[in-house]
Structure 1
Amino acid sequence: MGKYTIEEFINQTKQDEQENEYFELETPRILEVNLTDEVWAKAGSMISYNGQIKFEREKVLEHGVGKMFKKAFTGEGSSLMKASGRGSLYLADQGKKITIFDLDNESITVNGNDLLAFEPGIDWDIKLMKKVAGMLSGGLFNVTLKGSGKVAITSHYEPLTLLVKPGQPVITDPNATVAWSGHLTPEFRTDISFRTFLGRGSGESIQMEFSGEGFVIVQPFEEVYMSGSSSS
């Protein structure tokens, strides 16, 4: 196991040239975009491409003054790049597992650090979680995506979906929360006794509470967000 001839290794790990969906999981941790027009992706996520593809960083005013203003607070982790042209584009983010959603006139909110790519026709907006900006290193921000089309998100290891039901709120650790129903608005609360009981740092005392009806996606990993850069 783990020993191959070069030919065996190539056959086992080469890209599948038969697949032609717009978004394809080439491996669980590499996204293939079969580009015919353009796509928005997390800046720095390109690992390879072929064909005629041009890359551009998001222009300062490309999405309006409102989003530019919010981006000034969210740092490098929210930077986007636009890939335009025709060819195969391969994206990845620090080996994190990738999940593709096909939105059908729906909305989903994603932790900004966990958004990998989305179709340009999808409407999106950045929201800084102001209540926790001073409590967590660098704060937290999220991106709400609405409409129809493909969205790719990332998680450390396998994600778990928790269902939110009326009268049964779901409480999560912000650092382990990946995404949630677009119509849900989490409330933030601090629990000093919870922090003291665990004997951990101040970040453990902040919790997200989701009420109503929908879903929350969590990962078995607590990301640490650094101000002005994406986490490792």
Structure 2
Amino acid sequence: MSKYSIEAFVNETKENPQERDYFELEKPQLLEINLNNQSVWTKIGSMVGYIGNIKFEKQGMLSGGLGNLLKKAISGEGARLMKAEGTGKLYVADSGKKVRILHLNNESVCVNGNDVLAHEQSIKNDITMLKSVAGMMSGGLFQVKLSGTGHIAITTHGDPLTLLVTPENPVFTDPNATVAWSGNLSPELKTNVSFKSLIGRGSGEEFQMKFSGSGWVLIQPYEEVYSVEK
């Protein structure tokens, strides 16, 4: 059999039937969710395929009391989740970004809203916002605090790097490159006046997130800019 035959291609790329974990990394950029009469939350538009009897229902993440003005300020697609329910295999991905699976054990993490790919129904999600409007304009629109016990899946452009935050060494990051951080940290938004005066108002480096205390911050080698829908 030629290594370039269709049969060889199928054998190389087919899914592994031995993998039965609830959340399974089928490929670095592709998450497999094995549902057994269960429900899971996934990012709207992330479904790329499924096998079995699975139903989908759109849900607004922002229906928990945030004002209409705030809802309009946040990108509609990035701010919404889809509920998938039933039995079968569900495959989700997001623009070729790498997927990381985390299992929370009565813990919490904060994730940039655009980087939440999926989470178990047992996980609670709460929208948190940077207090400064400038944070929204620089691309760090909103964060989702995921807490409880269960699986979550987040996405990054390229291979991420974790920076440790200590009381002696706070960490500063670009909001557009910041993916997630430990749930006990509350970032502040800092303005770098010298950058503003040096290269004008168009630079993302004008705004920085400052993390103080003890914990960690996950950054990606990419500055992700989000579109805002009116």
Q: Verify same fold: TM over 0.5.
A: yes
Counterparts in 2 of 1:1-232, with a 5 A limit?
Answer: 4-36=4-36, 37-58=38-59, 65-66=64-65, 71-76=71-76, 77-133=78-134, 136=137, 140-197=141-198, 201-228=202-229
Q: CA–CA distance in 1 between the matches of 2:67 and 2:16?
A: 39
Q: CA–CA distance in 1 between the matches of 2:194 and 2:179?
A: 25
> What letter is aligned with 1:179?
A
Q: CA–CA distance in 2 between the matches of 1:121 and 1:205?
A: 38
> What letter is aligned with 2:11?
N
Q: CA–CA distance in 1 between the matches of 2:12 and 2:151?
A: 27
Q: Is the 8 A contact 1:133 1:140 kept in 2?
A: no
Unaligned runs of 5+ in 2: none
**Measured at CA, do residues 91 and 68 of structure 1 come closer, stay the same or move farther in structure 2, by a change above 3 Å?**
farther
> What is the SS of the residue equivalent to 1:11?
helix
Q: Is the 8 A contact 1:135 1:203 kept in 2?
A: no
Q: Which string of whole-angstrom CA distances, capped at 9 and with x for unpartnered residues, describes residues 98-129 of structure 1?
A: 00000001000000000000001111101222
Q: CA–CA distance in 2 between the matches of 1:201 and 1:72?
A: 23
Unaligned runs of 5+ in 1: none
- C-alpha deviation, 1:134, in angstroms: 6.7
- C-alpha deviation, 1:39, in angstroms: 0.2
Q: CA–CA distance in 2 between the matches of 1:93 and 1:51?
A: 22
**Measured at CA, do residues 23 and 68 of structure 1 come closer, stay the same or move farther in structure 2, by a change above 3 Å?**
farther
Q: Is the 8 A contact 1:53 1:83 kept in 2?
A: yes
- C-alpha deviation, 1:199, in angstroms: 6.8
- C-alpha deviation, 1:132, in angstroms: 3.6
> What is the SS of the residue equivalent to 2:218?
strand
- C-alpha deviation, 1:74, in angstroms: 2.3
Q: CA–CA distance in 1 between the matches of 2:92 and 2:108?
A: 23
Aligned CA-pair RMSD: 2.2
- C-alpha deviation, 1:130, in angstroms: 3.6
**TM-score between the two structures when normalised by the length of structure 2:** 0.90
Q: CA–CA distance in 1 between the matches of 2:142 and 2:62?
A: 17
- C-alpha deviation, 1:194, in angstroms: 3.0
- C-alpha deviation, 1:225, in angstroms: 1.4
> What letter is aligned with 1:99?
R
Q: CA–CA distance in 2 between the matches of 1:82 and 1:174?
A: 28
Q: Is the 8 A contact 1:136 1:203 kept in 2?
A: no
Q: CA–CA distance in 1 between the matches of 2:99 and 2:51?
A: 21
Q: Is the 8 A contact 1:127 1:141 kept in 2?
A: yes
Q: Is the 8 A contact 1:100 1:150 kept in 2?
A: yes
Q: Is the 8 A contact 1:132 1:188 kept in 2?
A: no
Alignment length (residue pairs): 225
